Amino acid sequence: VLALLLVVAIVCASDPELERSELDAQRYLGELEPEILARNNNATELSWAYESSISEESLKQRNDAASRNANFFKEVARELREYDYNSFKDADLKRRIKKLTDLGYAALSEDKFSQLVDAISRMQENYATAKVCEYRNDTNCNFGLEPELTLKLAKSRDPEELKHYWVQWHIVAGKPVRKDFDEYVTLNREAAQLNNFTSGAEYWLDAYEDDTFEAQVDAAIEQIRPLYEQIHAYVRYKLRKHYGSEIVSEKGPIPVHLLGNMWGQSWDNIADITTPFPDKKLLDVTDEMVRQQYTARKMFEMGDEFFTSLNMTKLPPTFWEKSILEKPKDGRELVCHASAWDFYKKDDVRIKQCTRITMEDFFTAHHELGHIQYYLQYQHLPSVYREGANPGFHEAVGDVVSLSVSSPKHLER
Q: Which residues of the chain have pLDDT under 50?
A: 2, 4-10, 12
| Annotated binding-site residue numbers for chloride | 208
Burial profile 373-400: b = 16 or more Cβ within 10 angstroms, e = fewer: bbbbeebeebbbebbeeeeeebeebbee
pLDDT tens-digit series, residues 232-262:
999 999 999 999 999 999 999 999 999 999 9
How far apart, in whole angstroms, are the C-alpha atoms of residue 212 and residue 232?
Answer: 28
pLDDT tens-digit series, residues 185-211:
999 999 999 999 999 999 999 999 999
pLDDT at position 279 is 84
C-alpha distance from residue 397 to each of 119, 141, 359, 368 (Å): 31, 38, 19, 10
pLDDT tens-digit series, residues 306-353:
999 999 999 999 999 999 999 999 989 999 999 999 999 999 999 999
Q: From 356, 358, 366, 368, select the one nearest 404 (Cα to Cα).
A: 366
pLDDT at position 353 is 97
How far apart, in whole angstroms, are the C-alpha atoms of residue 394 and residue 409?
Answer: 25
pLDDT at position 5 is 47
DSSP-assigned states of every residue in 256-306? GGGSSSTTS---GGGHHHH-S-TTSPP---HHHHHHTT--HHHHHHHHHHH
Q: Please name the residue ranges forming H helices in 102-207.
A: 110-129, 150-155, 159-174, 178-194, 200-206
- Paired with 144 in beta bridges are 131
pLDDT at position 154 is 94
| Annotated binding-site residue numbers | 208, 367, 371, 395
- Paired with 339 in beta bridges are 352
Domain boundaries, the chain: 1-99, 109-196, 210-282, 286-411
Residues designated as active site: 368
| Annotated binding-site residue numbers for Zn(2+) | 367, 371, 395
